[in-house]
Structure 1
Amino acid sequence: MKFDLHTHHFRCGHAEGSIRDYIDAAIAADFKVIGISDHTPYFGSPEDQPFPAISMRKTDFEGYVQEVLELKREYEGKIKVLLGIESDYFPDHAPVYQQALAAHPFDYIIGSIHHVRDVSIFNKKRWNNLTPEQQIADKEEYFNLIRQSARSGMFQIIAHMDAMKGNYPPFSDIMTDAAIDETLRVIAECGLAIEVNTSGKTKLSGGWYPSHAILEVAHHHGVDITFGSDAHKPSRVGDEFDEVAKVLKEIGYKEWVYFEQKQKVTVPL
């Protein structure tokens, strides 16, 4: 059974198409489950939309939820539509996010780290002039934030676990094996899943998030796996799903999961 839990649409300001476009693309690709998971508004600011090309307006949030719920009803019997959302984890603003998200019937919430030390993880310049020790410190802080997000109780899924490599491929070579191992152990203890996110092909790194090596460590710790294309245009819905399933089987996984009403649903590989 095919499913994709990570999709975006026009409200976030950097994706194409409507929610319906993504649902129709999933049906055309013979998917049985499609999760809609656009970026939350930036709840940490008093402004309605402080970052127009990154996240939706606060005033669009209720409409987003209601549209997905209406489409869930409309498409019943054709495809299972899940109400999800991708939420950044900002330690200073976590209670505000938690309160805003708890007011709606999300099937799942994807936790993401997009900023380390107040700089985007995709900023190509953030690594300029850093010493090897500073690079290690930044990478370790990235995984520290992922661990904090896992322990927060806010999320069911951890997004694109090594996406900091996206526009800086040497990130993968910075030696922080202990931090990665500890992060996966914490994720397993907290009962969260990590996604295999196939959107790395849209960045300089190529490939998937996380790397095959990290997936092997995840399997060792018993971390649940889910799938997300992180599609920002309808044509990428389900991208490389079959290839991901093949690799996971080779690693030793026998099943993966999606979430409905925040409850884990197991699907054989």
Structure 2
Amino acid sequence: MKFDLHTHHERCGHALGTIEDYVKQAIDYGLKYIGISDHTPYFHSEEDQLYPGIAMAKSDLAKYVEEVLSLKEKYQDKIHVLLGMESDFFPDHFNVYREQLLKYPFDYIIGSVHYVHDVNIFKKGRWEGLTSQEQVEVKEEYYRLIQQSAKSGFFQVLGHIDAMKGYYPEFSAIETNMIDSTLEVIGQEDVAIEINTSGKTKYCGGWYPSDEILERALHYNVKVTFGSDAHKPERICDEFELVQKRLKEIGFKEWAYFVEKKRYLTAL
């Protein structure tokens, strides 16, 4: 069964195409489920749209939900359209995000850490001038935040759990035991992680997370799902079959999708 739980659209300010463009493309590609999961607004900001090039305005959220639900009904005979959201995880503002997102009938919410020490993980040059020990501290804080997001009990999926390597491939070589402890927590909390194929759009190439992390994830009984993180319709389900094949080689037997926040497992 073909599905993709991680897609964006023009409302976030850095993706191309309307939501309907993604739905139509998914139908053309033969998907059974297409998840629409744009970025949460910055709910903790007093501004309606803090960063127009990163996330939708707070005033747009209700319209986003309404549009996805309308398309869900319009195309119900051709594809299952899932209402998702990729939510930032800010521990200090978690309750605000939770309160806002509980207002809507999401099928799933992806929890993603995009900021460490108040700096975007994809900011080019953020590693410049850091000592080896400081690099370790940044990486460990990243995984502490991911652990907290897993323990929150709010997310069905954790997004791109080694994406900090995006513009700094050397990130993967920074030695720490935090990855294993994080995967252990994720397994205990029974939250899924996504295999996200958008790493190919950054310096690091490949997928998030790495094969090595996926092998450790299997050891800790972590459930997996698929998300292209498409920012243009053509990238929907990008490398789906390759991911499917690799997961089988690693030893996974199934992967997950979500409807009304209930997890369903389907054979690889």
TM bucket by the smaller chain?
over 0.9
- Residue deviations 1:116-155, cap 9 Å, x none? 0011111121101111000000000000000001111120
* Counterpart residue number, 1:74: 74
Instruction: Provide the C-alpha distance between the structure 1 equivalents of 2:97 and 2:153, rounded to a whole number of angstroms.
Output: 12
Instruction: Provide the C-alpha distance between the structure 1 equivalents of 2:222 and 2:250, rounded to a whole number of angstroms.
Output: 13
Give SS of 1:127's match: coil
Structure-to-structure mapping, 1:175-186, within 5 angstroms: 175-176=175-176, 178-186=177-185
* Counterpart residue number, 1:246: 245
* Counterpart residue number, 2:257: 258
Structure-to-structure mapping, 1:92-241, within 5 angstroms: 92-176=92-176, 178-241=177-240
Give SS of 2:126's match: helix
Instruction: Provide the C-alpha distance between the structure 2 equivalents of 1:124 and 1:51, rounded to a whole number of angstroms.
Output: 17
**What's the TM-score once normalised by structure 2's chain length?**
0.99
Q: Does 1:53 align with 2:53?
A: yes
Q: What amino acid does structure 1 have at the position aligned with 2:200?
A: K
**What's the TM-score once normalised by structure 1's chain length?**
0.99
Q: After the TM superposition, which parts of structure 1 deviate over 3 Å for at least 4 consecutive aligned residues?
A: none
Q: CA deviation at 1:208?
A: 0.1
Q: Does 1:9 align with 2:9?
A: yes
Give SS of 1:109's match: strand
Identity of aligned residues (%): 61
Instruction: Provide the C-alpha distance between the structure 2 equivalents of 1:59 and 1:122, rounded to a whole number of angstroms.
Output: 26
Instruction: Provide the C-alpha distance between the structure 1 equivalents of 2:82 and 2:106, rounded to a whole number of angstroms.
Output: 8
Q: What amino acid does structure 1 have at the position aligned with 2:82?
A: L
Q: What amino acid does structure 1 have at the position aligned with 2:250?
A: I
Question: Which stretch shows the higher mean deviation, 183-192 or 157-166?
Answer: 183-192
Q: CA deviation at 1:73?
A: 0.7
- Residue deviations 1:133-188, cap 9 Å, x none? 00000000000000001111120000001000000000000001x20011111111
Q: Does 1:64 align with 2:64?
A: yes
- Residue deviations 1:13-44, cap 9 Å, x none? 00000000011111111111000000011001
Q: What amino acid does structure 1 have at the position aligned with 2:234?
A: S
Instruction: Provide the C-alpha distance between the structure 2 equivalents of 1:110 and 1:119, rounded to a whole number of angstroms.
Output: 20
Q: Count matched residues.
A: 268
Q: What amino acid does structure 1 have at the position aligned with 2:197?
A: T
Instruction: Provide the C-alpha distance between the structure 1 equivalents of 2:69 and 2:97, rounded to a whole number of angstroms.
Output: 21
Give SS of 1:130's match: coil
Instruction: Provide the C-alpha distance between the structure 1 equivalents of 2:130 and 2:60, rounded to a whole number of angstroms.
Output: 39
Instruction: Provide the C-alpha distance between the structure 2 equivalents of 1:119 and 1:125, rounded to a whole number of angstroms.
Output: 11
* Counterpart residue number, 1:25: 25
Give SS of 1:259's match: strand
Q: What amino acid does structure 1 have at the position aligned with 2:179?
A: I
Instruction: Provide the C-alpha distance between the structure 2 equivalents of 1:50 and 1:124, rounded to a whole number of angstroms.
Output: 20
Give SS of 1:31's match: coil
Instruction: Provide the C-alpha distance between the structure 1 equivalents of 2:227 and 2:10, rounded to a whole number of angstroms.
Output: 18
Stretches of structure 1 that go unaligned for 5 or more consecutive residues are none
Q: CA deviation at 1:77?
A: 1.8
Give SS of 1:249's match: helix
Stretches of structure 2 that go unaligned for 5 or more consecutive residues are none
Aligned-residue CA RMSD (Å) = 0.5
